[in-house]
Structure 1
């Protein structure tokens, strides 16, 4: 009996060690941790891009919640990486409870993954929050999280819009109004004068691997990137807007054609007087520019209505069972509180999607008084429109065609009219 007893004891120890070793791995999968429902929150915020704010918010939520425990999971490679990981999770029959979805992946997400609209969860379990979304979000902001079929997929969370950063010192040196231009026509005039009077470049418009800022330029002049599922950017208004940008670079030689990081750095170094880019660059510019810098609202086209595409992401509920769905809304409601939204804005530079955060005493009122550069972006929230996402499998190809023609036009290899009209036809062939 003794050998058997010894073997039993050894076997028990091995099982105990295995259980201890797997406890952490199973913790997030367990539906309960003590009295709490455990859920996963998937995000794309690296440490240098809001990750610290995510950690703080999750930690504070877990301390105060009696019903829910959140496990945050960072996904590298931004929103594309998160979608790939979510696909693998779905194939294994699992899913997190709350996910960040970038605007460019809105339709892809809603077409390929199971989700439940937040309002459905609210109506089923939280009658006290029935009008929460209506009360605290502008209609045009909520519309950003609707897919092409008009269904409310999630709630806007990370928002950015383009502003015009200006070097007041260079503007004054050139004899110009230090408060900057108000229209795109004035931007061109200012840029040319700055080049003539100071020898420095007057203007830079951001050129990342997308057409976000280009959409703002064209649509503010009355063009539409897409209409009823067809590309329509090669209109008279679209060509006119693109022509102004092209002429500043190739004719006046007062604007620079550079990759995004180099263009922003040229502004920070004092070699470019005006930079049109996202408000999410505010911290970088404010902390590193050694001149009198300001951020002003996006220019208009001769008084036309400004249209600015939203950058950032929404939060969607992918929880499958009732307990996790309820926990998901409890966590999301916490993230959308005035205090949490303020902390998120301060930690990332994004504009709060909730409409009352800027004026609240417990929100951003003091922060905005100390950070004037945020005001322009917040004041533009009523002109935010969805970032164009070309439908179907051709979406990525369409984006690339627009990037290719941008380089051709700004490089002087094709005229604006010819380039845009040809590209519009190619994209519409793909969309068929």
Structure 2
């Protein structure tokens, strides 16, 4: 009898685990295919919009239910979390992948091209990508082998947010500085005349803004698969930022959320960060705020890495892959793209949203803070993506170096040179 009861209990446990696995694998009680959508949008940068879009999709879909999962530490944090879940066989269906991890993602994770899913299951959408996106925009989501890994979803560039009230108080041009040299001078005057900090340079868990600073001065982060940021131009650019933090003491060296909040609170006059912070800043700043184009280096052209991300399909089976495309098609509708832009500030990647009556036409006319990002798109370049297995480690080495340089524990030249050598050793392994 004891052995019989043990057998019954074992069978019951197995049935229970199978049922739980079935639910986790993607079926709701009412028969919908359940999938996860992994994103990096915090509450202050599109999180509420993600929540609303997912709720709206779920309400109108009879076949798919989406669960959104926020990943902190931006795209690097998402890649680390995905690494662990994929190893355990629990990959989500749709994932935001930052441009700097394009090659790392395609080299290290299983995915299926959206066009493949479309051709296999949605013949009515066969030309969706070609019809809705410009070729150069679609190319942003191709890896070094020319494969279409995903679809561009978030497009941004760094802009300079300015507190015009502080600039006027300091006797400066209320339209803000136009060059990095002027940013440094403006910051000195602001500190002297108002006692407030002049500048904040964004410090999230990536090197996006740093790439803009260095490459606009003529440096190159990566050349022919090798790290090359420790050039004369790269060192010169980084030294300007380090001098503002360490010598002039006119720039803040703090975390991203703190830095943006310091600007919103009015304790720092200028903030260099993504246009995707536009909604947060515009809604909360209690002063005359504006967003102007990214500063240039005197006599040089601006080069701005395309910020944001693509959406990729990592669903492990056809059922979830079909559900993934149904959700993505909803996110890429004119109406959803318009809501995404309104809720974040990202420039829409789809080519017909800005001019559509049910899109952003009126909104862009009424929101001048978007103008700078739209007008400087001709200066956008690919976000540097270190290839192979070394991508995450290379990114982290540069982040650690940023803290060392701006913390005053290492010089710019020594730091950039040594880390460039370490990264190239990783890339050669």
Task: State TM-score, norm by structure 2.
Answer: 0.83
Q: What does residue range 361-380 of structure 1 map to in structure 2 within 5 Å?
A: 361-380=357-376
- The Cα of 1:155 is off from its aligned counterpart by 0.7
Residue 394 of structure 1 aligns to a residue whose secondary structure is: helix
- The Cα of 1:377 is off from its aligned counterpart by 2.3
Say which of 251, 266, 271 aligns to 1:270: 266
Aligned to 1:185: 181
Larger radius of gyration: 1
Q: What does residue range 136-147 of structure 1 map to in structure 2 within 5 Å?
A: 136-147=132-143
Contact in 2 for aligned 1:144/1:385 (Cα 8 Å): no
Query: Take 1:156 and 1:205, find their aligned partners in 2: how far apart are those partners?
Result: 26
Aligned to 2:129: 133
Q: What does residue range 341-420 of structure 1 map to in structure 2 within 5 Å?
A: 341-420=337-416
RMSD of aligned alpha carbons: 3.3
Q: Does 1:153 align with 2:149?
A: yes
Contact in 2 for aligned 1:394/1:431 (Cα 8 Å): yes
1:90-117 CA-to-partner distances (Å, cap 9, x unmatched) read 5566654433333344334322333221
Aligned to 1:41: 36
Contact in 1 for aligned 2:279/2:342 (Cα 8 Å): no
Query: Take 1:38 and 1:76, find their aligned partners in 2: how far apart are those partners?
Result: 22
- The Cα of 1:134 is off from its aligned counterpart by 3.0
- The Cα of 1:421 is off from its aligned counterpart by 2.0
Residue 316 of structure 1 aligns to a residue whose secondary structure is: strand
Query: Take 1:96 and 1:244, find their aligned partners in 2: how far apart are those partners?
Result: 42
Task: State TM-score, norm by structure 1.
Answer: 0.82
Say which of 282, 288, 293 aligns to 2:289: 293
Say which of 65, 74, 78 aligns to 1:70: 65
Q: Does 1:163 align with 2:159?
A: yes
Q: What does residue range 217-256 of structure 1 map to in structure 2 within 5 Å?
A: 217-256=213-252
- The Cα of 1:184 is off from its aligned counterpart by 1.6
Query: Take 2:342 and 2:70, find their aligned partners in 1: how far apart are those partners?
Result: 22
Contact in 1 for aligned 2:76/2:205 (Cα 8 Å): no
Aligned to 2:52: 56
1:69-125 CA-to-partner distances (Å, cap 9, x unmatched) read 233242544656655665566556665443333334433432233322112333444
Contact in 1 for aligned 2:278/2:344 (Cα 8 Å): no
Contact in 2 for aligned 1:202/1:273 (Cα 8 Å): yes
Q: Does 1:201 align with 2:180?
A: no
Query: Take 1:324 and 1:254, find their aligned partners in 2: how far apart are those partners?
Result: 52
Query: Take 2:192 and 2:398, find their aligned partners in 1: how far apart are those partners?
Result: 32
Contact in 2 for aligned 1:163/1:377 (Cα 8 Å): yes
Say which of 87, 98, 101 aligns to 1:102: 98
Contact in 2 for aligned 1:140/1:382 (Cα 8 Å): no
Query: Take 2:129 and 2:68, find their aligned partners in 1: how far apart are those partners?
Result: 26
Structure 1 gaps, min length 5? 1-10
Contact in 2 for aligned 1:37/1:327 (Cα 8 Å): no
Q: Does 1:119 align with 2:115?
A: yes
1:280-337 CA-to-partner distances (Å, cap 9, x unmatched) read 3223322332211111111122353322223332211234555544443333222101
Query: Take 2:115 and 2:299, find their aligned partners in 1: how far apart are those partners?
Result: 38
Query: Take 2:64 and 2:408, find their aligned partners in 1: how far apart are those partners?
Result: 57
Contact in 2 for aligned 1:221/1:238 (Cα 8 Å): yes
Structure 2 gaps, min length 5? 1-7
- The Cα of 1:51 is off from its aligned counterpart by 4.6
- The Cα of 1:362 is off from its aligned counterpart by 1.0
Aligned to 2:5: none
